[in-house]
Amino acid sequence: MASTKRHPFDTGPIYLNRWRNSTPSGSFVAVRRVPHANLKDSPVTDQPLADAIDIFLDQGQRPYTEVVSQLEHALQCALLAEAESGDGDLIAAAFLHDIGHMMQKHGQSAADRGIDDKHEDIARGWVGRYFNDRVAEAVGQHVAAKRYLCAARPEYFDTLSPASVKSLELQGGPMSADEVQAFESRPHWEDAVKLREWDDRAKTAGLDTPGIDHFKPYLEAALRG
C-alpha cells in the first residue's frame, strides 16, 4: 500500500513508522497520532510546558534542514529516543534539545553567516529553570557531544552532513585530549552522547511521527517538582 506524507499537525489512526537505517533491526514502531488541534481540549496546566509547546507551535515550521522543519526534527528525535531507550528523561531531552534555535536572536541560517548561535546554551538556561537536571544537562551538552564524538570516534566525522561540519567549525572543532577527559567527567555526559546520535539521525524527509501530545506525558514527568 502506498504511503502518503502526513503533516505533524494532521489527525490519523494508528500507523507504523519504519526507521530505515536507524534502528538496528529496521523494526517498526507503532504509535498513535494525537492532533495538535486537540491541545486546546487537553489544557496544559504547567506554564513552562505550555510555553515550550507554544514555541514549537509558533516557530516549529522554521527549517532545520532543507528537508525537515524544527518541529519535524524534534518529533523524529524524540521518537528515536522512545523507540531505542524508553527513558522518559531522554525522550524529553530529545524533544527539547534544539529549542534554543527558536529562541536565539540571530535569525535563520546563522551558521551560513559564520555565526555560532549558541543555541545549546540558550536551551540549557531555559530548560534548566523548569526541567530536571538530567534533561537540562543532556540538552546543554549535545553540541559538546558532537565535538567529543569527532575526537573519540574519528569515523564519526565522516557521518556528518555538510551543515554539521560547518557548524562544528564554529563550535570549536573536535575536542582536544584534555577536553575529552573533561567531558567524560561531566554529569550525564553519556546521555548527551546518546542524544547526539539521535539528533544526527532525525532528519528524514516525509517521515510519519506522532504529534506533540504523544510526548507531553514525558515532558510533564520531567518538570521540576
pLDDT in tens, 120-148: 888 899 999 999 999 999 999 999 999 99
Asked whether the predicted pLDDT for residue 214 surpasses 70, the reply is: yes
> Cell digits for 119?
543555541
Flag the least confident range among 30-34, 55-59, 82-86, 175-179: 30-34
Helical ranges in the chain per DSSP H: 47-59, 70-84, 88-96, 119-130, 133-140, 142-152, 162-170, 177-183, 189-201, 212-222
Helix or strand or coil: residue 215?
helix
Using pLDDT thresholds of 50, 70 and 90, give the confidence band for residue 104. low
* Residue, of 39 and 143, whose pLDDT is higher: 143
Q: Would the CA dihedral through 54, 57, 62, 66 be positive or negative?
A: positive
Flag the least confident range among 14-28, 78-92, 137-151: 14-28
Query: Quick one: DSSP state of residue 17?
Result: E
Percent pLDDT > 70 in the chain is: 74
Asked whether the predicted pLDDT for residue 91 surpasses 80, the reply is: yes
Domain locations in the chain as residue ranges:
14-107+114-222
Question: What average pLDDT does the chain have?
Answer: 79
| Average pLDDT for 86-101 | 95
Superfamily name with CATH number, domain 14-107+114-222: Hypothetical protein af1432 (1.10.3210.10)
Using pLDDT thresholds of 50, 70 and 90, give the confidence band for residue 14. very low
| Average pLDDT for 154-172 | 90
pTM of the model: 0.76
Using pLDDT thresholds of 50, 70 and 90, give the confidence band for residue 216. very high
Asked whether the predicted pLDDT for residue 6 surpasses 50, the reply is: no
CA separation, residue 186 to residues 33, 41, 68, 122, 141 (Å): 37, 41, 32, 19, 9
| Average pLDDT for 28-38 | 34
- pLDDT attached to residue 131: 96
- pLDDT attached to residue 107: 56
- pLDDT attached to residue 177: 97
Spatial contact of 123 and 141, defined as CB atoms under 8 Å apart:
no
